[in-house]
Amino acid sequence: MRSSFIKYKKEIYPIEDSLFEYLKKYNRGVQLPLEYEDLLRFEDGFPIYDENEEDTMWLSIYFSNAERQEIDLGLKKIYSILHVDGSEDILPYLNVDSIDFCTYGNTKPFRVKIRNILNDNYVFYYIKQADSSRVYGLELEHLLSPNPTNFLVSKSTLIEDHISGIPGDVFSKNFLDKCTKQEKASIAKEFVKFNERCFVRLLGDMRDYNYVMVLMHDFDRIQYRFRAVDFDQQSYDGEMDAYFPNSYEENKVYQNLVDEYLSSGSVEQYKLEERSLIAKRATSEWVRLEDLLTCMKTNRLSSESNINSLKLEIYNLAHDVEFKKSTSMGGIIQAAVNFVIRNYKSINPYIIK
């Protein structure tokens, strides 16, 4: 296991015209009333500490009186575009409770808390520098995983809806020991499926603080699901293992559950289940997915050396010449999706050929 595959800070890749045209076609590309750069005009901030008095790397920021009214109005309009229909009818019922700034991470996001003053319900969303890697990651998550995503993009700004759940590191530290054996076996199963899902769509750096554990109450049990929340390292790294969550030292506790509770036959079964689900999702969303991959194959998302080393590693694993022919990260993902679909159709005797 490796503690990290991230050797250098990844550069931010701008939103190219072809990608923005795709986003507009599928109602993701918008003109925003407020851009990321506008929020950088904050006056000052003070650190936010967690319940253990440890620095969270977030600052609670404030603006001058002259700026605050404009900023608040823009943030409420963004909420309306993200969650409603963009109309201003709901604005009088909204309040901007807080604006936080993260001092850690590539895109240095702002976190906005919007509260409905009539019932005190509130939501969070994030404002980040627009980065093609993140946008492709969010869209692939929407199309190939069981988790729909809600986000908006302008040419320079990315708006992301908050994804609820317990951070993976917090869950393993504070909740995992309280789980029953059956629940631990269920978590192990979901980790195998999460591992497979990340690899097929090339989502890297899934260390335990870059995903959350989502708990869903069924009538006789709690179901668990690993859900990615950070898409910064989508299709960037040149090492194949970087796209397997079980390769990271931070995830050893979850891999230990797999080793303890699942047989090798069960692991293969759950991998096959996830690949079959990916094949079904890709087939049902093929027109949109093909549009996305067409853009992705022409956009620069990594270095040429990363692309060449990754495609050869995967070719040596899958022995599919499509990987070897790939000239971009988008091409590698298309080869992976095609590989999964072909295998699903070839082994399923009930598919009408």
**Residue 290 falls within a domain, yes or no?**
yes
**Residue 62 falls within a domain, yes or no?**
yes
State mean pLDDT over 214-223.
89
Strands 94-102 and 122-129 turn out to be unpaired
pLDDT given at position 105 = 73
Nearest to 262 by CA among 333, 320, 184, 210: 184
Reported as a single tens digit per residue, the pLDDT across 8-43 is: 678 899 999 999 999 999 999 999 999 999 999 999
pLDDT given at position 294 = 97
For residue 241, the SS3 value is helix
Reported as a single tens digit per residue, the pLDDT across 77-127 is: 999 999 998 889 999 999 999 999 998 777 789 999 999 999 999 999 999
Q: How many structural domains is the chain composed of?
A: 2
Angle of CA points 115, 120, 125, to nearest 5°: 30
Kindly state whether residues 119 and 63 are assigned to the same domain: yes
For 107-153, give the DSSP string: S--EEEEEEETTT--EEEEEEEE--HHHHHHHHHHHHHSS----EEE
Kindly state whether residues 140 and 197 are assigned to the same domain: no
**Residue 114 falls within a domain, yes or no?**
yes
Where does the pLDDT of residue 50 fall: very low under 50, low under 70, confident under 90, or very high at 90 and above?
A: confident
Distance between CA atoms of 282 and 236, rounded to whole angstroms?
A: 22
Kindly state whether residues 197 and 289 are assigned to the same domain: yes
**Residue 1 falls within a domain, yes or no?**
no
Where does the pLDDT of residue 6 fall: very low under 50, low under 70, confident under 90, or very high at 90 and above?
A: low
Kindly state whether residues 224 and 247 are assigned to the same domain: yes
**Residue 250 falls within a domain, yes or no?**
yes
Radius of gyration of the chain (CA): 21
Pick the last residue of a domain from 161, 192, 211: 161
- In sequence order, the β-bridge partners of residue 46 are 60
- Phi-psi group of 225: left, alpha or beta (phi > 0 → left; psi -120 to 50 → alpha; rest → beta): beta
Distance between CA atoms of 139 and 214, rounded to whole angstroms?
A: 20
Kindly state whether residues 154 and 170 are assigned to the same domain: no
Q: Is the pTM of this model over 0.85?
A: yes
Kindly state whether residues 219 and 134 are assigned to the same domain: no
Where does the pLDDT of residue 71 fall: very low under 50, low under 70, confident under 90, or very high at 90 and above?
A: very high
Structure tokens at 251: 């995830």
Kindly state whether residues 302 and 229 are assigned to the same domain: yes
Pick the last residue of a domain from 103, 137, 161: 161
Pick the last residue of a domain from 161, 187, 208: 161
Kindly state whether residues 247 and 135 are assigned to the same domain: no
**Residue 292 falls within a domain, yes or no?**
yes
Tell me, rounded to whole angstroms, the distance of Cα 132 from its chain centroid: 13
pLDDT given at position 350 = 67
Per the structure, the complete domain to which residue 227 belongs is given by 166-347
State mean pLDDT over 50-79.
92
State mean pLDDT over 41-66.
91
Distances (CA, A) of 277 to 147, 186, 281, 341: 12, 18, 6, 10
Kindly state whether residues 144 and 218 are assigned to the same domain: no
State mean pLDDT over 174-196.
97
Distances (CA, A) of 296 to 19, 176, 228: 8, 38, 20
Burial class (CB in 10 A: 0-12, 13-18, 19+), 52: exposed
Reported as a single tens digit per residue, the pLDDT across 238-266 is: 999 999 999 999 999 999 999 999 999 99
- Phi-psi group of 65: left, alpha or beta (phi > 0 → left; psi -120 to 50 → alpha; rest → beta): alpha
Kindly state whether residues 257 and 115 are assigned to the same domain: no
**Residue 9 falls within a domain, yes or no?**
no
Kindly state whether residues 241 and 140 are assigned to the same domain: no
Kindly state whether residues 88 and 178 are assigned to the same domain: no
**Residue 70 falls within a domain, yes or no?**
yes
Nearest to 50 by CA among 174, 217, 213: 174
